[in-house]
Amino acid sequence: MEKKDGKYDFSLYEYHNLLHQNILVSYKGPIDERVMTVIGENIEILTNDGNDKAKSKIFKIFMELAQNVWLYSAESCKTVSGKKLGMGTLVIGEFGDSYTFVTGNVVKNNDIEPVIEKCEIINSLDRDSLREYRREQRRLANTGKKNSGNIGLIQVALTAESPLDIELTPVSDEESFFSIAVKIKKTSAKS
Amino acid sequence: MEDIHIKGVHEAYFMPTVNFEVATGNCEISGESYLEETTKFYAPLLNWIRDYIDTVRGPLKFDIKLSYFNTSSSKCLVDILDMLKTYQKKGGQVTVNWYYEDSDEELEEVEDFILETGLQINKIPME
């Protein structure tokens, strides 16, 4: 978006067209409960092609992943009352017989390693083992053990019935952009 | 000790409806659970159960009808179930009915709560 001859080199039309194809919802900015309410409602309205199960799956996944951006993004801003809001990007796309939900945010390289390890464990497990992992991690969280709190990612993989497609792109020596994409079938294979 | 009656709210956060009755030991948690401060919301409910177990020592029947709860709420639900299991082990009469909608995933989750807490939970389809 650099200025050239006093004009911005940014075409909103191209940006719109890029998003127009297959993208139902796209948001970039701070995330808090108000943003979550609006996007949550938009998801409900815009995913009419899917059955009710797919809708409730997307909603559940959205709630967990958006919450992670809000709480753990390394890029943040503060409200007037001093509340810290994580910034990030959310995109919900519709591709044929499935929806894809993607969230991304800047992370500190030092903080992201355990999250990536967790995602790799999640992706290596079959459904029964994943359920066992959720039980075990929830149990650890309830006994107050450190680094075991977040069972959100396990829940996301179980709800989506698909692996967590993660990507880490370095943006500086200390920070990277971390994204998680999950695919949700419009009609669940098990229903 | 007094009853707890909380009317559910679906706004930016979702507060479940809660009805705990001292006289009957009938307890209900229904609606949706996604809260700003999850443990702060559930702490008085856990205290109520503890008081009931210590002082009233009567039967406890839990009807859980949650159409949505986030992972933070699920941790607090496990705390409740743990407390009920401990009471049952000491001879307390405990019934837990879990009402589910029509997804396999929900049923799996209830089965996991059973495995996780060792408590028997009746799985009942929601009407």
Q: What interface predicted TM-score (ipTM) does this complex get?
A: 0.91
Instruction: Assign B56 to helix, strand or coil.
Output: helix
Residue A158 in any domain: the answer is yes
Question: If you measure CA to CA, which chain B residue comes closest to A159?
Answer: B105
Q: Which residue of B has its CA nearest to A190?
A: B104
Residue A1 is predicted with a pLDDT of 65
Contact (CB<8Å) A131/B112: yes
Provide the pLDDT for residue A27.
Answer: 94
Parallel/antiparallel/unpaired status of strands B26-33 and B17-20:
antiparallel
C-alpha to C-alpha distance for A58 and A188, rounded to whole angstroms = 12
Task: Name which of A37, A135, A155 is nearest B71 (Cβ-Cβ).
Answer: A155
Q: What is the pLDDT of residue A144?
A: 62
User: Which of these ranges, A10-24, A26-40, B6-20, B39-53, has the smallest mean pLDDT?
Assistant: A10-24
pLDDT per residue over B56-81, tens digit each? 999 999 999 999 999 999 999 999 99
**Collapsed DSSP state (helix, strand, coil) of residue A12:** helix
Q: State residue A191's pLDDT score.
A: 42
Tokens of A85: 């809001």
Mean predicted confidence (pLDDT) in B28-44? 96
Nearest chain A alpha carbon to B68:
A60
Q: Which residues of B touch A67 (CB under 8 A)?
A: 70
* Distance between CA atoms of residues A135 and A126, nearest Å: 14
Q: Domain B4-125: which CATH class?
A: alpha beta
Is A3 a domain residue? no
Q: What is the pLDDT of residue A146?
A: 52
Question: Which residues of A, range 124-143, sit inside 8 Å of B by Cβ?
Answer: 131, 134-135, 138-139, 141-142
Question: Does the beta carbon of A55 lie under 8 angstroms from any beta carbon of chain B?
Answer: no
The Cβ-side half-sphere exposure at B2, using a 13 Å CA radius, reads 4
pLDDT in tens, A77-102: 998 999 889 999 999 999 889 999 99
Give the dihedral of Cα atoms A134, A135, A140, A141; nearest 10 deg. 60
Asked whether residue A154 is domain-assigned, the answer is yes
**What is the DSSP pairing of strand B122-125 with strand B94-100?**
parallel
Mean pLDDT (chain B) is: 95
**Digit-coded pLDDT (tens) for A149-176:** 579 999 999 999 999 999 999 999 999 9
Q: Which residue has the tokens 């919301």?
A: B41
Q: Which residue of B has its CA nearest to A40?
A: B12
Please work out, in degrees rounded to the nearest 5, the angle formed at the alpha carbon of residue A120 by the alpha carbons of A63 and A155: 25
3-class DSSP state for residue B19?
A: strand
Cα B39 to Cα A52, B36, B65, B75, distances in angstroms:
30, 9, 19, 9
B112 — contact with chain A (CB < 8 Å)?
A: yes
Contact B105 A36 (CB under 8 A): no
Does the structure show a pLDDT above 90 at B119? yes
Dihedral, CA of residue B80, residue B84, residue B86 and residue B90, to nearest 10: 160
Task: Tell me which of A43, A65, A134 to substitute to probe the interface with B (most B C-beta atoms closer than 10 Å).
Answer: A134
B115 touches chain A (CB under 8 A): yes
Contacts of A56 in chain B (CB under 8 A): 68, 103
Between A175 and A4, name the one with better pLDDT.
Answer: A175
**Residue A4 forms part of a structural domain:** no
Question: Regarding predicted confidence, which is higher, A10 or A116?
Answer: A116
Q: Which residue of B has its CA nearest to A37?
A: B12
Say if A190 falls within a structural domain.
no
Contact with chain A for residue B30, Cβ under 8 A? no
Residue A29 domain-assigned (yes or no): yes
Inter-residue contact A158 to A188 (CB < 8 Å): no
Distance CA B47, CA B42 (A): 9
pLDDT at B98 over 90: yes
Q: Is A1 among the domain residues?
A: no
How many domains does chain A divide into?
Answer: 1
Q: Domain for residue A2, yes or no?
A: no
Strand partners, B92: none
Residues of chain A found within 8 Å of residue B105, distances taken between Cβ atoms: 57, 158-159
**Cβ <8 Å between A60 and B11:** no
The CATH number of residue A174's host domain is 3.30.565.10
B112/chain A closest Cα distance in angstroms: 7
Per DSSP bridges, beta strands B94-100 and A7-8 are unpaired
Please check whether residue B127 touches A, CB under 8 A. Answer: no
The closest alpha carbon to B96, from A141, B70, B82, belongs to B82
A48-52, B45-49, B68-72, B104-108: which is most confident:
B45-49
Helix (H, G, I), strand (E, B) or coil at A10: coil
Closest CA to B56 of B4, B2, B13, B99: B2
Domain span including residue A91: 10-185
Mean pLDDT of chain A: 88
The stretches of chain A forming alpha helices (DSSP H) are: 12-20, 33-46, 52-72, 109-124, 127-142, 152-160
Query: Quick one: pLDDT at residue A127?
Result: 96
| Distance, C-alpha A24 to centroid of its chain | 15
Share of chain B above pLDDT 70, in %: 100
